[in-house]
C-alpha cells in the first residue's frame, strides 16, 4: 500500500542557524534523493506543506527546474480536511517534520509522526515524535511500514482480556547471535535500569508503526501502566503509553491531572512500597505466588473514579495497561481482577518484552474499595493457559530496525 508522506517545507532548506552548513546541505541533498526513490520505487506520494503559499510556489519552481517534478506542494490548511476525511484508512499518512503544528495534524488523523534530527525541532515535536538521524534511516523506516507485524506474542486470557508482547526477551538461551543477545541486553538495561536510551527508539518506532496499521486500540478510553515496586513510574513506559494515547487520538486530561506528576496521572497507584519480587522470592515462589503482594500494595487511582463510572454506564470502559516485561504475569493478573471487579468491558495488556512462559490465569474474589488500600482478594482458582501465539516475523522486524538504527 502506498503512502502519502507529508513533509514540512523546512526539509528543503539547505541550512539553519546554529547547524553545520555543510552537513545541512548534504542531508538536504540526500533527503531529496531518498524521497525521489520512495516515489519511483514504492509509488508513494511526497507532499511538502507550509502555510506560506509564496514559499511553496518558490520551492516548486526551484526544484522542478532541478528535475524533482514528482513532488507535490500544498498549503497546510488545505490538507487538513483531506486527511480528516481519509483518516479511517490505516497506515496511509506519515508526517515528517519538526513543527508542532504538523504534530497536531498528525495526532488528529492518528498518523505516525517522524522527526528528522537534522532540522530544528520544536518542543512537542521533539518530545513526542519518532526520531531519525539520517535521510537513509528515514527511507528505510518508511519501507518497513508496509509489512509490519507488531507483536511477538498474542494471548487471549478471556473473552474481554487480551495480552500482547512486542519482543522475545529470552536472550540467555534463545539468541542465535551475539548481536541479537547484545540488543536484548540493552533493552533490559533500558527498561530495568534506565540505561541504553537509544534502544528505546527502536521499540518505540516498532510499536507506533504497528499501531498505525491496526484498530486494536481505537476504542480504548483509559490508559495506565504497572507502577514500579517503589511506586514510581518508569519514564520510558510512561512515554510509550502517552505516545500511544496520542496516536490513537486520546489526549491527556485537561483537568488537574494534566498538571500532576506522572505517578498521579497513572490509572494505577502503588500506595505502599514493595520489595522487588526477584530479590524476595526464588523462581518457583514467583511462579506460584499469585497476586497477594500486588493486592497489598496496588490500587486504582481514585482520581479516575468518576470517569470510570461514566464509561461503565456508557459501556465504554475499555482499558489498556502497559508494563516492561511479562515474566509470570502476577501484576497483570492482579490488575485484570481489579478491573473486572469494576466492570471493564475490554482490557488490553501490552508488555514490551515476554519470556514466553505459560500464563497462569489466577482468579480472585475482590471485596472492598479498590480505589484505596481497603480491599481484599480471595483466591478462587488458577488455570494455566496454553493458547499463546508467537510470531517470528515480529522478531525479524525488530532485528531489521536494530540494523537500520545502527546503520
Handedness of CA 124, 225, 209, 201 (dihedral sign): positive
Residue 365's pLDDT is 96
Mean predicted confidence (pLDDT) in 292-318: 95
Residues 402 and 183: beta-carbon distance below 8 Å: yes
* pLDDT: which is higher, 224 or 192: 224
Q: pLDDT (tens digit, 9 = 90+) per residue, 139-155?
A: 888 887 765 666 888 99
* pLDDT: which is higher, 327 or 222: 222
Residue 125's pLDDT is 85
pTM reported for the whole predicted model? 0.77
Q: Is the pLDDT of residue 277 over 70?
A: no
Closest CA to 13 of 54, 63, 53, 51: 63
Q: Is the pLDDT of residue 51 over 90?
A: yes
Q: How far is CA 92 from CA 110, 159, 216, in A?
A: 10, 31, 17
Helix, strand, coil fractions of the chain, as percent rounded to 5:
45, 25, 30
Helix (H, G, I), strand (E, B) or coil at 353: strand
* Range from 60-64, 85-89, 187-191, 399-403 carrying the lowest mean pLDDT: 187-191
Residue 195's pLDDT is 43
Q: Which domains does the chain have, with CATH numbers?
A: 4-146 (3.40.50.1000), 153-393 (no CATH)
Q: Residue 313: count other Cβ atoms within 10 Å of its Cβ.
A: 10
* pLDDT: which is higher, 206 or 302: 302
Amino acid at each position: 500500500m502506498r503512502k502519502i508522506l507529508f513533509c514540512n517545507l523546512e526539509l528543503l532548506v539547505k541550512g539553519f542557524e546554529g547547524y553545520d552548513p555543510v552537513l545541512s546541505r548534504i542531508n538536504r541533498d540526500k533527503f531529496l534523493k531518498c524521497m525521489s526513490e520512495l516515489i519511483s520505487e514504492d509509488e508513494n506520494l511526497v507532499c511538502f506543506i507550509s502555510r506560506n503559499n509564496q514559499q511553496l510556489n518558490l520551492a516548486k519552481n526551484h526544484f522542478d527546474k532541478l528535475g524533482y517534478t514528482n513532488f507535490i506542494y500544498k498549503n497546510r490548511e488545505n490538507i487538513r480536511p483531506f486527511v480528516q476525511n481519509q483518516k479511517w484508512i490505516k497506515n496511509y499518512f506519515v508526517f515528517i517534520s519538526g513543527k508542532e503544528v504538523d504534530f497536531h495534524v498528525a495526532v488528529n488523523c492518528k498518523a505516525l509522526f517522524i522527526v528528522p534530527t537534522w532540522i530544528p525541532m520544536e518542543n512537542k515535536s521533539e518530545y513526542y515524535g519518532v526520531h531519525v538521524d539520517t535521510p537513509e534511516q528515514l527511507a528505510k523506516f518508511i519501507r518497513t511500514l508496509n509489512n509490519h507485524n507488531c507483536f511477538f506474542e498474542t494471548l487471549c486470557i478471556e473473552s474481554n482480556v487480551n495480552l500482547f508482547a512486542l519482543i522475545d526477551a529470552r536472550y540467555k538461551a534463545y539468541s542465535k547471535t551475539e548481536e541479537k543477545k547484545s540488543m536484548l541486553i540493552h533493552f533490559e538495561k533500558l527498561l530495568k535500569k534506565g540505561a541504553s536510551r537509544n534502544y528505546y527508539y527502536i521499540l518505540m518506532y516498532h510499536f507506533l508503526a504497528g499501531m498505525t496499521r491496526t484498530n486494536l486500540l481505537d476504542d480504548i478510553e483509559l490508559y495506565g501502566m504497572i507502577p514500579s515496586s517503589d511506586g514510581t513510574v518508569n519514564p520510558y513506559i510512561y512515554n510509550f503509553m502517552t505516545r500511544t494515547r496520542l496516536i490513537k487520538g486520546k489526549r491527556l486530561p485537561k483537568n488537574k491531572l494534566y498538571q500532576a506528576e506522572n505517578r498521579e496521572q497513572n490509572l494505577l497507584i502503588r500506595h505502599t512500597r514493595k520489595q522487588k519480587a526477584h530479590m524476595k522470592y526464588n523462581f518457583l515462589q514467583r511462579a506460584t505466588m499469585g497476586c497477594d503482594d500486588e493486592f497489598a500494595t496496588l490500587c486504582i487511582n481514585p482520581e479516575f473514579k468518576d470517569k470510570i463510572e461514566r464509561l461503565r454506564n456508557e459501556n465504554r470502559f475499555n482499558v489498556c495497561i502497559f508494563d516492561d516485561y511479562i515474566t509470570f504475569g502476577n501484576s497483570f493478573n492482579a490488575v485484570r481482577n481489579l478491573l473486572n471487579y469494576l466492570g471493564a468491558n475490554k482490557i488490553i495488556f501490552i508488555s514490551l518484552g515476554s519470556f514466553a512462559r505459560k500464563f497462569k490465569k489466577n482468579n480472585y474474589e475482590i471485596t472492598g474499595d479498590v480505589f484505596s488500600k481497603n480491599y481484599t482478594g480471595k483466591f478462587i482458582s488458577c488455570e494455566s493457559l496454553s493458547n499463546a501465539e508467537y510470531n517470528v516475523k515480529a522478531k525479524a522486524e525488530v532485528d531489521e530496525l536494530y540494523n537500520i538504527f545502527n546503520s
